[in-house]
Amino acid sequence: MTVAENLANLNAAISEACRRAGRASSDVTLIAVSKTWDEPVVRQALEAGHRLFGENRVQEAVSKWPVLKAIFPDVRVHLIGHLQTNKVAEAVSCFDLIQTVDRPKLVRVIASEQKKQKRQIECFIQVNTGEEPQKGGVAPGEAAGLVASARAAGLIVTGLMCIPPADQEPAPHFALLAKLACDVRVDYLSMGMSVDFAVAIEQGATHVRIGSAIFGRRGGTAP
């Protein structure tokens, strides 16, 4: 299967999940997770018409996307991995949206850097719904406070993001994120990956993050 065929199949699966959930397929946006894949592979998805991608590492995105954006100027790239404060300047310059804002210090550094660059981008707040110590994200009980402080600092917060614990049913975590989104009045929910995107769509996901079903297994051979 080619990348284009994989994208077509995946979009059909997302549409079917939306139908079963009683939602319009236009309600859910696919983020193609292109981390670890180099420019020729990613170009296959771009040439198939896909325009929204997710990257985990700032340095990888900086080396890959400026060239591709020059060719495909309508492409958008989200940062979906942990952001260190010493990488914020490059992140603000390179990305169109940061999904992993998760602590007050990061809020302050992003706000400062946006003023320096005179460039403002959207942000999602990452919520650690399972309160796992090894995982990024603000605790659910502190999410509203972080959203408020981020907005007070001038960040444009439009959504929430989560990665449920791998050993637990994802639905309760997605439901929790959806409730928090209502509480803090944001429109977007980034939740759901290859194994659980249909469940995420049932719980209200607006963005699903999927890589291997499009590009193949990391470390393997691309389509």
Are 88 and 71 in contact by the 8 Å Cβ rule? The answer is no
Output the pLDDT for position 218. 62
Rounded CA-CA distance 76/1 in Å is: 25
CA 187 to chain centre: 14
Q: Tell whether pTM > 0.85.
A: yes
Output the pLDDT for position 220. 45
Tokens matching residue 102: 């998760």
Rounded CA-CA distance 220/213 in Å is: 12
Output the pLDDT for position 170. 98
Q: What angle do CA 157, 50, 211 make, to 5 degrees?
A: 75
Mean pLDDT (10-residue bins), the chain, 223 residues: 96 98 97 94 97 97 95 98 98 98 98 98 98 96 98 98 96 98 98 96 98 79 52
